[in-house]
């Protein structure tokens, strides 16, 4: 059976120790900058050095997450951090930024690069492209099914999330947090906009009252894990760099058992109950196993709801009486689900009002009414005190070694140590015949196996010796300490010798133009823009494109997040995901390719794009800086455009999660601040547009330098003419 890696999140050193002790094969963590979880504790450079050494000691790999988009002003710092990690012997870097991936692969030829799920690895095309570039592994999108993963016939390592939080939007495609609050998910600053309540409207008609319409359950594949073990997946990844050390330890232990037992864990139901007390939003098996919308979404609560343990049966101003269906202990945390109130149970009473340390399933208990509960509610346990204490006792993870001893009279006393890969041998004094106190093979073995202050244990100690010999016990101990120290140091050394290459940038042949483009949905919009003389008119409406493809200015906006792009590209296309751009010459890259810096643009031109749209997350000053840096660095003007007006796509979501009529543009989501987000469903995807259009005024100063795009959605002919003027 294929060997699968268990990959565990570590937000700090405590999480790292839990992951190692409970059986992780590899861990992933971030430096203080450029990681997609900016608000985790993360690691200082000094801690990174310690973490890599500790991991390597136990044969655990450390992958550094450098998976944010990088602005031009940050490139030197980003590459400096990469080089630091490289020289420390990091096992791989996980990256999102296409320009930085391309550059790093050339600059550091034996540094292993993994493409983050933030790269939107949802298609065969992007996986093949990354493999051809030299990327060692792809972290596949959570939207892919197990069957689709099996269909990706590319000899690249496949990493798949098997547990943890789910993004509702395709990763790397979510701009919502950035557009409404300036906190970019592409920069590790996601504010969790999908975990907020929304109302759904059709025109002015309310279809769904305020609820968590975009909030998903937690991914949990434990009950179908054997199917994953039979797959061609290389690495099973757990999400959770923001989670507690106890969560990391428990979930690592659970999935370690699942892997080692071929998916057969005794009392999995009981383990799941324990898990629910650590973190639970309800569980789903996810798109891996074709979950339906009801199984995917938790529209009731976006937070940890714990393990249901009973019902309130009586409330007074001082006391709350609960009928238990699970055990409750002093020190546990509880939450009342209807009101959302909760607290730690400092004092627990039995039905007679006597203090107790625990109450059991089927019993009635009382607790103090510390939060003013007024009515009968459902009760959940959100902290299991005993389980937390248990998880804080780290299990030992010992390293098996062997000793080989040779002790012959007249020859040096020699001891060899090995961990199966590394061998070290030291020699002591010449072995003498014993006069009064011979040393037995049992005594030699006993002294060598006194490894209590090291992470080693001897699985085999072979002693070859003459009879009736004498060796000082002090010497045996000294040789043991010398050997174990050599082995310790050797195991913690980097696994490769860094190689740093000079990177050349061949001159690009670009046609530069300053022009005006539009994206349209309707026939009226198309006719209006044709008459206004737009140089390029993009439309995602395939029939509208076919009706107007006689015009050289009309381009097809290819649907996003296709499993396979082959057959979808037209001779003139706006490409919105990475694929083989060599099909046609007239391909324009959309802002969805996340062009943040000049290197991403350069390498996209090399792949065959004729024009590129810069990220909508860049300011006008950053765009101007990009333009000047590109020309100064590569000796040619970049052929780019920007979205100067219009609603950008905040999210693209697999399936019809809101039960919308297909290709109907009259729906909207409204948030707590009464901001109105248009939403529609088409070709298997739900798309949410931003609540307001990009403001053309910010970019007017660039109109003589860079091409400007207008993105029209429901604008009429008159409105388009007015906006363009």
Following DSSP, what letter does each residue of 37-48 receive, concatenated? Answer: -TTS----HHHH
**Residue pLDDT, tens place only, 660-706:** 999 999 999 999 999 999 999 999 999 999 999 887 777 777 778 89
Name 271's Cβ contacts closer than 8 Å, sequence gap at least 6.
222, 254, 265
Using CA atoms of 195, 198, 200, 206 in order, give the dihedral in degrees to the nearest 10.
150
Instruction: Please state the rounded mean pLDDT for residues 62-78.
Output: 95
Per-residue confidence band for 383, with pLDDT thresholds at 50, 70 and 90: very high
Vertex 352, ends 346 and 357: CA angle to 5°? 35
Instruction: Please state the rounded mean pLDDT for residues 78-97.
Output: 96
Name 633's Cβ contacts closer than 8 Å, sequence gap at least 6.
505, 598
Vertex 715, ends 711 and 719: CA angle to 5°? 105
Burial call 582-606: b when 16+ CB within 10 Å, e when fewer? eeeeebbbbbbbbbbbbbbbbbbbe
Instruction: Please state the rounded mean pLDDT for residues 107-134.
Output: 96
Task: Output the pLDDT for position 246.
Answer: 96
Task: Output the pLDDT for position 474.
Answer: 95
Could you tell me the strand order of the sheet in which 348-350 lies? 342-344, 333-336, 378-383, 307-315, 319-324, 364-368, 348-350, 355-356
Nearest residue to 629 via CA among 72, 204, 192:
72
Task: Output the pLDDT for position 1.
Answer: 67
For strands 554-557 and 536-539, give the pairing. parallel
Please give the structure tokens belonging to residue 137. 């592994």
Task: Output the pLDDT for position 39.
Answer: 67
Nearest residue to 630 via CA among 651, 663, 604:
604
Task: Output the pLDDT for position 111.
Answer: 97
Average the pLDDT over each of 8-17, 430-439, 713-722 and give the range with the smallest value: 430-439
Question: Hey, which bits of 483-616 come out as E strands?
Answer: 516-519, 536-539, 554-557, 572-575, 586-589, 611-613
Burial call 182-220: b when 16+ CB within 10 Å, e when fewer? ebbbbbbbbbebbbbbbbbbeeeeeeeeebbbbbbbbbb
Whether the per-residue pLDDT at 391 is higher than 80: the answer is yes
- For the chain, the 3-state helix, strand and coil shares in percent, each to the nearest 5, are 30, 25, 45
User: 403: part of which helix (H) or strand (E)?
Assistant: strand 399-407
Per-residue confidence band for 210, with pLDDT thresholds at 50, 70 and 90: confident
Give 599's Cβ-side CA count (13 Å radius): 22
Task: Say how far apart CA 379 and CA 143 lie, in whole Å.
Answer: 33
Task: Output the pLDDT for position 36.
Answer: 62
Note whether 114 and 137 are within 8 A (CB).
Answer: yes
Task: Output the pLDDT for position 565.
Answer: 85
Task: Output the pLDDT for position 701.
Answer: 76
Q: Which residue has the tokens 């948030």?
A: 671
Whether the per-residue pLDDT at 443 is higher than 70: the answer is yes
Per-residue confidence band for 148, with pLDDT thresholds at 50, 70 and 90: very high
Please give the structure tokens belonging to residue 505. 């940038």
Architecture (CATH level 2) of domain 5-185+217-288: Alpha-Beta Barrel (3.20)
Please give the structure tokens belonging to residue 632. 């100064």
Question: Hey, which bits of 481-553 come out as E strands?
Answer: 516-519, 536-539
**What one-character DSSP code corresponds to residue 523?**
H
Task: Output the pLDDT for position 2.
Answer: 80
SS3 282: coil
Task: Say how far apart CA 501 and CA 717 lie, in whole Å.
Answer: 55
Note whether 568 and 535 are within 8 A (CB).
Answer: no
| Domain boundaries 307-392, CATH class | mainly beta
Task: Output the pLDDT for position 698.
Answer: 72
For strands 26-30 and 61-66, give the pairing. parallel
Task: Output the pLDDT for position 529.
Answer: 98
Burial call 281-314: b when 16+ CB within 10 Å, e when fewer? bebbbbbbbebeeeebbbbebbebbbbbbbebee
Question: Hey, which bits of 67-125 come out as E strands?
Answer: 92-95, 113-115
The sign of the torsion formed by the CA atoms of 255, 259, 261, 263 equals positive
Nearest residue to 397 via CA among 36, 54, 122:
54
Give 585's Cβ-side CA count (13 Å radius): 3
Distances (CA, A) of 443 to 163, 244, 268, 405, 473: 49, 45, 45, 12, 9
**Residue pLDDT, tens place only, 6-61:** 999 999 999 999 999 999 999 999 998 887 676 667 899 999 999 999 999 999 99
Instruction: Please state the rounded mean pLDDT for residues 456-482.
Output: 95
Note whether 179 and 690 are within 8 A (CB).
Answer: yes
Cα 82 off chain centre by = 19
CATH superfamily of 516-648+690-724: Aldolase class I (3.20.20.70)
Burial call 53-88: b when 16+ CB within 10 Å, e when fewer? bbbbbbebbbbbbbbbbbbbebbeebbebbbebbeb
Distances (CA, A) of 451 to 82, 386, 454, 457, 485: 37, 32, 5, 6, 11
Note whether 646 and 693 are within 8 A (CB).
Answer: yes
**Residue pLDDT, tens place only, 251-260:** 999 999 999 9
**Residue pLDDT, tens place only, 522-580:** 999 999 999 999 999 999 999 999 999 999 999 999 999 999 987 899 999 999 999 88
């Amino acid at each position: 059976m294929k060997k699968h890696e268990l990959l565990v999140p570590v937000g700090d050193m405590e999480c790292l120790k839990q992951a190692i002790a409970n059986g992780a094969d590899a861990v992933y963590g971030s430096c203080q900058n450029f990681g997609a979880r900016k608000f985790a504790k993360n690691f200082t450079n000094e801690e990174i050095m310690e973490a890599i050494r500790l991991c390597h000691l136990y044969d655990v790999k450390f992958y550094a997450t450098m998976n944010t988009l990088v602005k031009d002003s940050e490139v030197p710092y980003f590459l400096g951090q990469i080089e630091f990690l490289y020289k420390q012997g990091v096992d791989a870097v996980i990256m999102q930024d296409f320009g930085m991936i391309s550059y790093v692969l050339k600059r550091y030829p034996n540094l292993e690069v993994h493409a983050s799920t933030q790269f939107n690895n949802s298609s065969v095309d992007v996986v093949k492209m990354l493999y051809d570039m030299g990327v060692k592994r792809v972290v596949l999108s959570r939207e892919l099914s197990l069957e689709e993963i099996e269909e990706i016939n590319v000899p690249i390592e496949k990493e798949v999330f098997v547990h943890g939080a789910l993004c509702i939007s395709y990763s790397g495609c979510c701009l919502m947090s950035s557009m409404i609050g300036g906190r970019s998910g592409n920069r590790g600053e996601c504010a969790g906009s999908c975990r907020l309540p929304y109302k759904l409207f059709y025109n002015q008609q309310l279809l769904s009252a305020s609820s968590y319409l975009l909030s998903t359950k937690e991914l949990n594949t434990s009950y179908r894990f054997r199917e994953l073990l039979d797959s061609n997946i290389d690495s099973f990844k757990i999400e959770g760099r923001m989670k507690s050390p106890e969560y990391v330890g428990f979930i690592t232990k659970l999935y370690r058992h699942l892997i080692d037992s071929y998916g057969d864990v005794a009392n999995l139901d009981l383990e799941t109950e324990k898990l629910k007390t650590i973190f639970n939003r309800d569980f789903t098996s996810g798109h891996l196993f074709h979950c339906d919308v009801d199984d995917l979404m938790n529209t009731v609560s976006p937070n940890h709801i714990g393990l249901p343990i009973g019902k309130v049966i009586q409330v007074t101003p001082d006391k709350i009486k609960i009928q238990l269906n699970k055990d409750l202990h002093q020190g546990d945390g509880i939450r009342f689900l209807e009101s959302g109130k909760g607290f730690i149970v400092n004092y627990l009473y039995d039905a007679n009002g006597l203090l107790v340390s625990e109450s059991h399933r089927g019993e009635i208990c009382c607790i103090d009414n510390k939060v003013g509960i007024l009515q009968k509610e459902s009760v959940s346990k959100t902290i299991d005190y005993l389980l937390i204490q248990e998880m804080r006792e780290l299990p030992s993870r010992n390293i098996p070694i062997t000793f080989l001893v040779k002790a012959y009279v007249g020859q040096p006393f020699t001891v060899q140590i090995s961990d199966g890969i590394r061998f070290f041998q030291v020699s002591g004094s010449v072995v003498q015949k014993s006069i009064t106190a011979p040393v037995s093979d049992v005594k030699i073995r006993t002294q060598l196996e006194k490894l209590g202050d090291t992470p080693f244990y001897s699985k085999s100690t072979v002693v070859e010796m003459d009879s009736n010999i004498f060796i000082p016990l002090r010497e045996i101990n000294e040789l043991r300490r010398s050997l174990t120290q050599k082995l310790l140091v050797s195991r913690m050394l980097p696994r490769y010798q860094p190689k740093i290459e000079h990177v050349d940038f061949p001159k690009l042949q670009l046609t530069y133009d300053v022009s005006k483009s539009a994206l349209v949905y309707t026939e009226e919009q198309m006719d209006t823009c044709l008459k206004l003389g737009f140089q390029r008119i993009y439309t995602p409406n395939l029939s509208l494109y076919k009706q107007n493809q006689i015009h050289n200015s009309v381009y097809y906006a290819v649907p996003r997040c296709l499993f396979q792009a082959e057959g979808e590209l037209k001779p003139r296309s706006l490409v919105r995901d990475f694929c083989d751009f060599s099909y046609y010459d007239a391909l324009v890259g959309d802002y969805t390719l996340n062009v943040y810096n000049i290197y991403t643009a350069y390498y996209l031109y090399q792949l065959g794009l004729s024009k590129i749209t810069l990220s909508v997350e860049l300011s006008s000053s950053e765009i101007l800086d990009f333009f000047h840096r590109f020309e100064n660095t590569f000796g040619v003007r970049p052929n780019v455009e920007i979205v100067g007006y219009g609603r950008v796509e905040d999210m693209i979501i697999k399936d019809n999660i809101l039960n919308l009529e297909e290709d109907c543009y009259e729906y909207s989501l409204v948030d707590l601040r009464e901001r109105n987000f248009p939403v529609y469903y088409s070709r298997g995807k739900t798309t949410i547009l931003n609540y307001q259009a990009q403001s053309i005024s910010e970019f007017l100063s660039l109109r003589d330098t860079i091409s400007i795009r207008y993105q029209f959605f429901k604008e009429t002919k008159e409105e388009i003419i007015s906006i363009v003027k």
